[in-house]
Structures are given as C-alpha cells and as structure tokens.
C-alpha cells in the first residue's frame, strides 16, 4: 500500500514538472518567434495566402496588427468560404483599408459581393486588381458591376459564374469586350432553354484583347463570324455547348487567326459538313482539336476526317474525339466503320481509337473515342 501511494505521488510530481517544462518551452519559443525582425515576417508573408496571414497573426498582439495593417505587398484575397460574422471583422480591419492593394480577388458568396460593392461603382476603388473571380453572383448585380470594370486599368483575368439564369448573354459580352487589358476570360452561365438560345449580337463591340476564351454555356454556331472579327488575338477557345441546326448552312467568309492554336467544342446539332466549314474558314493554324458529339453519325467516317485534316489542319498535333451514342443503328455503324480509323494515315500520326459499348440487351449505349490523341 505504501509503495502504491509513493508511486502515485511520484507520478504526480513528474506530471507537474513535465507540464512546467512544456509551458516554459512554449513560452521560450513564443518569445523567440516574436523577437524576429519585421523584415523576416515580410518575407514569410510573401509565401502565404493573405487569409491565412490574417487568421494566424492579426489577433496575436498589437505588433502583428500594425504589421498587417501597414503591410506593403500585393494582396490576394480569397473569400470563397468566409462566414458573415468573420467577414464583418475582416472587412473592417483588412479589406477596406487595403482595397487599393488587392491584385487578386475571389468572391463566391452573393451576399458578401453585394455588401462590398454597394453601390457597384465602388469596384472602381480596387485600382490594382489583375484577376477577378465572381462565383454565384446574382446576374442583375453582375450587370451593374460589369459596367465599371472598364475603370480597372490592370485587369487581365476575369472569371464569372452567375448563380441564376441569364436573360440576355449579349449584355455580358458587350461589357467584357470593352475591357482593353483583358487576356483571359472564363464564363459559366445558364439560360432557361438551351435549344432556343439566340445568337450573340456582336454589332456594338470593338476589337478585344482577349487571348483565352472559355464559355461553359450554350453558344450559337451562327455567332462565330462576328466573334472572330472582334477577337483577332485569340489563342485558346473552348465552348462546352456549341449549338447549331442540322438543317442550316451558313456561308462564313474566311478569317485568318494565326495565333489560335487550341480549339475544344462539345457539339450539339451541328452536322459534320457544318463543322467542316468552320475548320476551313477559321481553324487552319490550330495544333490541338478536341470535340465531343452525341448521337451524330456524320462524324464516324474516317476518310472525311483524313481529307479535312490533310487539307485544312496541317499543323494539327493533338486530335481528341469523343463520340457517344444511345441507338442501335449507331452501334452497328461504329462496329462497321471503326476499323477505317486504323489506316496508314492514322498509324503514321500515332492517333488510335477504341469502341466500347454496353453489352446488356436492353441498352444501346456506346462510345467511340481517342485512346492516344497526341502525335
């Protein structure tokens, strides 16, 4: 019994001494950390996201509060996950006093966007913004803010994703194409009826400086002629819902886009002969072509592809095709024609394809696709 009491007493003393040493060690480390020169913290901050700097240092003591308030480095602000409560303090202590220093701004809470830019002309105060990302923004409020972006002299990257339906995408394009320094633009918007989307009216625009354009939304085939007139510096084009009509034929006149090297389309109701017209008139210089189709047999003939690539895309290095279907007729067609994509032409370019389909009797789903799109 006495031995157990003595052992318990010894353990208590050991725990006390251990905790005391740990506390002393933490105090020593904290003291050494806080004794570092301001210049060292400035160098550390250059490698950190500003949100992490704020939450990690601002409330330590007055010294760090003053350091952050007077921090003379470009700010990269990502408020995609901040709560309303935390934003009020952040907005007061950091955001508003330093808005003239922010060069990257990412906002995805529609309520916070409206709090910051109320009225919308306040965005003009962010004179050093180079990259602006608005996700889940109300479309009506977006229209109001876009009018003022022309006053941001350094803005070169714009990413927009409205939370609700867009009534008239033309309004968005009008405002975006007015931005003289813009190089990269990514748009993701929804409309109520994809099948009845109207062509974009480009008549009011000046030539744009955009080089990279990504449209993750319905876009009419008929709009291409004017689009390319206003985008002479285009290098990269991706449209995930390019919509046409299998019964319409448009006579485009050629535009030489020497800088355009990358094209990616998800095609809807665009027959091969219409797509062929696009290639011949606009895409002579491309090096990368990625296309996806659905239930369209017109893209299944290897010979027409060989002729089109040889005559109109001599610099093509990557050909990535993905044709999916849900009909028995197309399954039979690809079973018969897929072998034609193994000719000398395709072997020399090292472009290979595969055909997979659901073996279940009640299903006709299948896909014909590139397995090695790189040359």
Render pLDDT for 69-99 as a digit per residue (tens, 0 to 9).
Answer: 676 667 778 777 777 777 888 788 778 888 8
Task: Note the pLDDT tens digit of each residue in 141-182.
Answer: 999 999 999 999 999 999 999 999 998 898 899 899 999 999
Q: Taking the CB of residue 30, how many other CB atoms lie within 10 A of it? A: 11
Q: 3-class DSSP state for residue 317?
A: coil
Q: When comparing pLDDT for 98 and 285, which is higher?
A: 285
The pLDDT of residue 248 is 66
User: Tokens 């700010």 sit at which residue?
Assistant: 75
The pLDDT of residue 375 is 64
The pLDDT of residue 150 is 94
Helix ranges (DSSP H) in 147-290: 169-176, 224-229, 272-282
Query: Residue 353 region, left (φ>0) first, then alpha (ψ -120 to 50), else beta?
Result: beta
Q: When comparing pLDDT for 268 and 68, which is higher?
A: 268
- Spans of all domains in the chain: 28-64
**Mean pLDDT over each residue of the chain, to the nearest integer:** 84
End-to-end CA distance of the chain: 83
The pLDDT of residue 23 is 44
User: Is residue 255 within 8 Å of residue 228, measured between CB atoms?
Assistant: yes
The pLDDT of residue 31 is 52
Kindly report the pTM of this predicted structure. 0.83
User: Is residue 294 within 8 Å of residue 324, measured between CB atoms?
Assistant: yes
The pLDDT of residue 20 is 45
- Whole-angstrom CA distances from 298 to 31, 238, 249 are 73, 22, 15
Task: Note the pLDDT tens digit of each residue in 236-266.
Answer: 999 999 998 766 677 889 999 999 999 999 9
The pLDDT of residue 15 is 52
Task: Note the pLDDT tens digit of each residue in 11-67.
Answer: 554 454 454 444 444 444 445 566 777 777 777 777 776 667 776 777 677 777 777
CA nearest to 161, candidates 131, 185, 189: 189
For residue 372, list its beta bridge partners. Answer: 352
Q: What is the DSSP letter of 360?
A: S
Contacts of 324 (CB under 8 A, 6+ apart): 292, 293, 294, 295, 365, 366, 367, 368
């Amino acid at each position: 019994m006495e031995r157990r009491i003595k052992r318990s007493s010894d353990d208590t003393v050991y725990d006390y001494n251990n905790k005391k040493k740990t506390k002393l060690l933490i105090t020593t480390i904290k003291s050494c950390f806080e004794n570092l020169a301001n210049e060292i913290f400035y160098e550390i901050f250059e490698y950190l996201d500003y949100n992490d700097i704020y939450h990690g240092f601002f409330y330590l003591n007055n010294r760090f509060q003053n350091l952050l308030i007077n921090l003379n480095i470009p700010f990269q602000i990502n408020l995609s996950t901040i709560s309303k409560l935390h934003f009020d303090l952040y907005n007061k202590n950091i955001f508003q006093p330093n808005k003239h220093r922010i060069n990257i701004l990412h906002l995805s809470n529609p309520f916070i966007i409206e709090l910051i830019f109320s009225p919308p002309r306040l965005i003009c105060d962010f004179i050093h913004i180079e990259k602006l990302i608005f996700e889940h923004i109300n479309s009506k409020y977006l229209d109001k803010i876009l009018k003022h972006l022309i006053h941001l002299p350094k803005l070169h990257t714009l990413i927009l994703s409205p939370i609700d339906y867009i009534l008239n995408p033309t309004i968005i394009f009008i405002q975006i194409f007015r931005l003289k320094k813009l190089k990269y633009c990514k748009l993701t918007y929804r409309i109520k009826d994809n099948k009845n989307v109207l062509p974009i009216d480009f008549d009011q625009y000046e030539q744009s400086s955009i080089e990279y354009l990504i449209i993750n939304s319905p876009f009419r085939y008929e709009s291409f002629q004017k689009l390319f007139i206003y985008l002479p510096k285009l290098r990269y084009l991706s449209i995930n819902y390019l919509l046409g009509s299998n019964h319409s034929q448009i006579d485009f006149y050629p535009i030489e886009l020497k800088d355009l090297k990358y094209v990616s389309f998800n095609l809807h109701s665009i027959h091969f002969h219409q797509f062929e017209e696009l290639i011949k008139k606009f895409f002579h210089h491309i090096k990368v072509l990625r296309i996806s189709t659905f239930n369209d047999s017109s893209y299944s003939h290897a010979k027409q592809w060989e002729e089109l690539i040889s005559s109109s895309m001599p610099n093509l290095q990557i050909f990535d095709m993905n044709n999916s279907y849900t009909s028995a007729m197309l399954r039979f067609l690809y079973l018969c024609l897929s072998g034609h994509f193994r000719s000398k032409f395709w072997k020399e370019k090292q472009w290979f394809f595969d055909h997979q389909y659901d073996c279940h009797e009640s299903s006709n789903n299948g896909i014909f696709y590139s397995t090695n799109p790189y040359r």
